[in-house]
Amino acid sequence: MNDDLIDEITLPTPADESAELAEIRNFKGKYPKQLWWLFLAEMWERFSFYGMRGMLSLFLVDELLLSDGEASLQYGATQAFVYTFAFIGGMFADRILGFRKSIFWGGLLMIVGSFTLAFSPKDLFYIGISFTIIGTGFFKPNISTMVGQLYRDGDSRRDAGFSLFYSGINIGALLGGGVCIYVAKAEGWGSWNLAFSLAGIFMIIGLSVFAFTQRTLGPIGQSPVLGNNSPTKSRLYRYMVYAGSLIVIPLILILVSNSQYTDIFMYIVGPLALFYVIYELLKYSPSERKKLFAAIIFIVFSIFFWAFFEQSGGSLSLFAAENLGNDLGGIKIDPNVVNNSSNSFFVILFAPLIGLLFLWMNKRKIEPNSIIKFGIAFLLLALAFYVFYSTKFFAVGGVSPLWIFTLAYLVITFAELFLSPIGLSLMTKLSPRPLHGAMMGMWFLASAYGQYVAGILGSNMSLEKGASLPEKLDAYTNGYYDLAIYGLISGVVLIAISPLIKKLMGSVK
């Protein structure tokens, strides 16, 4: 890659752009320096989140004694609430708190949740999870939104920036997913209390990094109410949000501890969120409406993607616990350490290369557009689940070798890299700046529905307690074969309708 060519990228300065913001966006080279601080902060939040996520299904089965099917449903419900509140957190960040205060408040709630779980995992499980759900909702969408605001509209380096950001934060996911489950399950000294404590400790580190580096962001992420109201009124609005988020925790506790309520909740929140976006959409020009409609199409397809991909925390976690060997290249390793960490390891390894490849292709005007990237993601997803399915052909006594399971994760990682960082980038490209937080929240709300469906799909693959290993192997792998077919169909459909979506996107590529 010729850095001199990248240095030549210049875009007109918008009339409403402050000198401080213009200085940030006029960076030379591939990436703005603020990107490194943002992914360091997000990296440790990802340690906390993926550490908790990786432990969830196994804790439900081993400690709360749920069946595999019940655990899959509970996992899906919990993750669905996490991503649903990312949409709500995005709205409050847009309207009242700003991205920075949302991140601080969400991080504090996540820390409280982690240490509540650490104090008494069995007795306080649902209380701790409720704090974590609300906290993640405020934290999760807002750093990604600020990454998008480091770039001007039309800057071709944005996708590469999100790819690097995605790689960096997956270091946290790799460490959290591997370390927490290892500490929880280690023979002789493993402790769930210590594992949950680690999630809280590293969340403190992530929040501290953000606190000490936020000054480099200039006006990015400041509260939108500061310039429109008196300090007293602005403070009142913030305190009302803080109080409201604490008041709803008992409601979240009831919902998350009774997965039968999840259906009702998901039937309500999705239509309400869509109504809100349509209401906001009417305020903008026809060209902006078309772009927002294109964003909604991407969001709908992403629901299907995450419904398949997020088997990793549910059915694939339970599959790894019983139907996989523990030998990987001569190294003895817990299969669930591989399940929780291999995807992140491959993201770290390949995301920067994919980002640089996109930059190289863009310079030569051969980069596929975002729609085709999404279509390729689904085709790769289909291939990955076919590899998961093929583990049955290598099994002995219902136990498959770990290497082919790991190979499937390599393929699914490329699928993720063609969709997730591109999707984050698209939400900031296709939506007007006042709606960045809400649309990023909508992206995560799609993940909520994906997680919800993932739990249902995983539960349908599960057998009752007492089933033999060969029976469980057949049930899970046959389910993965079905997902491979669905992924293939989704990819073909998306590529087929790409000309229509391209028209809606206008100048956005």
215-258 pLDDT, tens per residue?
Answer: 889 888 887 765 566 677 778 888 999 999 999 999 999 888 87
Give the tokens for residue 426.
Answer: 């698209």
Give the pLDDT score at 16. Answer: 60
Domain extents for the chain?
29-505
Give the pLDDT score at 2. Answer: 45
Give the pLDDT score at 1. Answer: 41
CB 289 within 8 A of CB 281: yes
State the DSSP code for 12: P
Give the pLDDT score at 424. Answer: 73
384-411 pLDDT, tens per residue?
Answer: 999 999 999 999 999 999 999 999 999 9
- Residue ranges of the chain with per-residue pLDDT less than 50: 1-8
Closest CA to 268 of 449, 75, 467, 455: 449
Give the pLDDT score at 14. Answer: 64
- Based on the number of CB atoms within 10 Å of its own CB, is 189 exposed (0-12), middle (13-18) or buried (19 or more)? exposed
Give the pLDDT score at 168. Answer: 73
Q: What is the CATH number of domain 29-505?
A: 1.20.1250.20
Phi and psi at 327, nearest 5°, equal: -115, 120
Closest CA to 149 of 427, 428, 422, 424: 428
- CA distance linking residue 102 with residue 368, whole number of Å: 35
Give the pLDDT score at 361. Answer: 85
- CA distance linking residue 334 with residue 325, whole number of Å: 8
What is the pTM (predicted TM-score) of this model?
A: 0.78
The sign one gets for the Cα dihedral 17, 19, 20, 21 is positive
Give the pLDDT score at 4. Answer: 43
